[in-house]
Amino acid sequence: MMHTARLRSGRVLGVLAPLLLGSSLASTYQVQIQRTSYGIPHVRAADLGSLGYGLGYAYAQDNLCLLADQVLTVRGERSRYLGTADSTIVGFQQVNNLDSDFFFRALIDLPALRRAYQSGPPEHLHLMQGYAAGYNRYLRDTPPGQRPEACRNADWVRPISEDDVMRLLEEKAIQASAGSLVTAIARTVPPGAGAALPAPDLAAFNAQYRLNDLPMGSNGWAFGAQATENGRGLLLGNPHFPWQTTNRFYELHLTIPGQLDVMGASLGGMPIVNIGFNRDVAWTHTVSTDKRFTLYALHLAPGDPTRYVKDGVTRPLRRRTVIVEVKDGDRIRVQSRTLYSTPDGPLISLPQAGLNWTATTAFALRDANHNNTRMIATWLDIGRASSVQGVRRALDQQGIPWVNTLAADRSGQALYADISSSPNVSAAQQARCTPPALAPLFKAAGLAVLDGSRSACDWAIDPASKVRGLRAPEHMPALIRQDYFANSNDSAWLTNLNARIENLDPIVGDVNVPQRPRTRMGLTEITRRLNGEDGLPGNRFNLGNLQEILLSDRNFTGLLLADDAVKLCQAEPKVTLASGEAVDLQPACDTLARWDRRSDLPSVGAYVWREFWRRASSIPGVYAVPFDPADPVNTPRGLNTADASVRSKLLQAFGDAVALLKANHIAPDRPLGEVQGVIRNGVRIPLHGAPEFEGVLNKIEPPLLNEQGYVGVVGTSSSYIQTVTFDEAGPVAQAILTYSQSADPASPHYADQTVLFSQKTWVTLPFTPAAIQADPALRTLELSE
């Protein structure tokens, strides 16, 4: 097949016809890739296949090693090329290569994925084929010795196919379900075949799996005409995702003239826009509280732990021997494991939760997102929507895997919907079908366990649902209003204080429970603005004050509780720790008294509060005023210093915080920007923001304090930040990609937006052809094959 490429710098006519006429008429793929400032690709083609081709090529230019490594993961080939001593991240968990390989080889059902995609619209398969072909074209254009250092001359960087794109999409779909339990699935063996199981330890289980508090999160705000200065929609998207791995967002703009024109960001390896905007509507997502899987407690046949009884009928477990190739020096050997499943899904062992495969009981996992091939259709249709009603209709395809959707449109309508892949298990069915001894696991550890011996406990079938066993869209939370919606990873209950959603099944989310500090901070900031209490002009939102509020770094727990902490340490400025060490609290106490209650670069005292509250927040009875469902934003509040036991523990927490600072040679009175940051090519970039437990909207999860400060690998934190409104001409959008476009240290786009984020400088996104042409950094690449 003929390959052509043309690269031009400067201003280029933003039309596709010359490109199509200038290449071979027999070409399968023809595409134009325009790069504007900060390396943002604007991919323009006549069909989805060519669009995927351009995006696959552009993404490989910026993140080749990242994607090649992820392809190794989803193929189950990490041990074959990298050995078993290394590890990777799956579902936000660190997993060794061997467990990862067995998991993906066992769990990904490639024939089923192929059948599903082949039965759908051909253009979706063409998109995946094009993406793979574009990636492969980049490999051909870039000799192994010229590739980024992280994978230069690596034998594991190989061409991919549409099968690999299917695998990549499946891995994204199951991250909040089976992908969060990789080791527990990959290591499950019949009783007696493994080592002795440890005693149950729910604290350890929650620390490892965090099913009730998934590490990824987001803020999403959508405003309608009643809350905005211009009477049009206004949207904030602020996902908190890892700064490493292919869960990094990638900025992009995809255009098929007359059919699709959408800009925003996608997760690595996904050939679509996940969070973004078009001419008429903008949308974002936040990780929702829905449980994406349930477990089934299987009653095993007497004397045979590989057979189970359902509705009185004995059935064999499905048995599969999975083979993984392993690099062993200069040779390749094979390892095998026999893994078991039922028609519902794989067997799983969770000893820390007391869920072990014994002679009488086993547990199977049913995943609402297994073989979710509806994602491409859903996100493409969201990108084509002209209103929030159109977004709402797109969601009915039930392709959104594990997030809420918030949207705003140019007419001034706002949408909140938790229409996503959720097991259709009502509160009544859950109560009726959960074995009594296992019922506490749902609240304590996020594990819904149903009786697997009765078909009556299978997920309910709703004719209104397009997917067997999933909750129908009409029975999931969804509202359209003209004031506001806000979600920061709590349930649908309080997305709008004036329109509470009370009728939630437990599988979907809680009501009348304490909200996380970020949720309370967001609702506080919104109501302060709408009530004119925030000191900014007017009492409605615009693009500027929305950005200012998000990056003001106001610290909710500090605003709520620091005054009480200061009174405590002023009254008792010395404490003796449990170790016997005497600690003088006065210098840190004086610093905390002067703290501006922000986690901003110049904020002095921010990390004193952080280390105190990290320890104090888990003290039983720490609050003076308990939670009140009638006042969920303002309660709980106050430190319970009147209780002698709590008071003593608070002082111990303060002393431990001061001792930590001293041990790391960090004075208590330095600005946060001198202590918290990230290193890029030897240059330290200061970071504002704070971890989840502090309640700062701009969430940053740095490493624990060390002698360098909070400097090192950044975890799930502000990533792609998008703010969008509309004028007569179309969208007005500004964004920051906090970690920048490329994971390659040699790229000019490795740290450029990270510096902007540190400075709170926003990038105006060029959406129209005229804006793209006017960009001073414009470069154009035309490809055909």
Catalytic positions: 218
> Rounded to 5 degrees, what angle do the CA atoms 763, 766, 772 make?
130
Asked if 232 contacts 224 with a C-beta cutoff of 8 angstroms, the reply is no
Q: How far is the C-alpha of 589 from the C-alpha of 564, rounded, in Å?
A: 11
Asked if 452 contacts 308 with a C-beta cutoff of 8 angstroms, the reply is yes
CB atoms within 10 A of CB 186: 25
Each residue of 680-692: b (16+ CB within 10 Å) or e? beeeebbbbbbbb
Q: How far is the C-alpha of 277 from the C-alpha of 269, rounded, in Å?
A: 20
Q: Where are the beta strands (DSSP E) in 534-665?
A: 574-576, 582-584, 623-625, 637-639
> Which of 182, 171, 435 is CA-nearest to residue 295?
435
Q: Which uninterrupted H or E stretch holds 569?
A: helix 556-571
End-to-end CA distance of the chain: 6
4 phi and psi angles, rounded to 5 deg: -130, 150
Instruction: Using alpha carbons, list the distances in angstroms from residue 664 to 305, 667, 708.
Output: 53, 9, 8
> Which of 39, 60, 42, 489 is CA-nearest to residue 246?
60
- Joined together, the tokens standing for residue 683 give 């240059």
Asked if 768 contacts 36 with a C-beta cutoff of 8 angstroms, the reply is no
> Which of 443, 416, 406 is CA-nearest to residue 498?
416
Cis before 423? omega within 30: no
Q: How far is the C-alpha of 345 from the C-alpha of 101, rounded, in Å?
A: 18
Edge-first strand order for the sheet with 414-417 is 4-9, 779-784, 30-36, 40-45, 249-256, 260-267, 275-277, 281-287, 403-409, 414-417, 478-481
Half-sphere exposure at residue 25, Cβ-oriented, CA atoms within 13 angstroms: 1
3-state secondary structure of 655: helix
One-letter amino acid of 193: A
Asked if 464 contacts 472 with a C-beta cutoff of 8 angstroms, the reply is yes
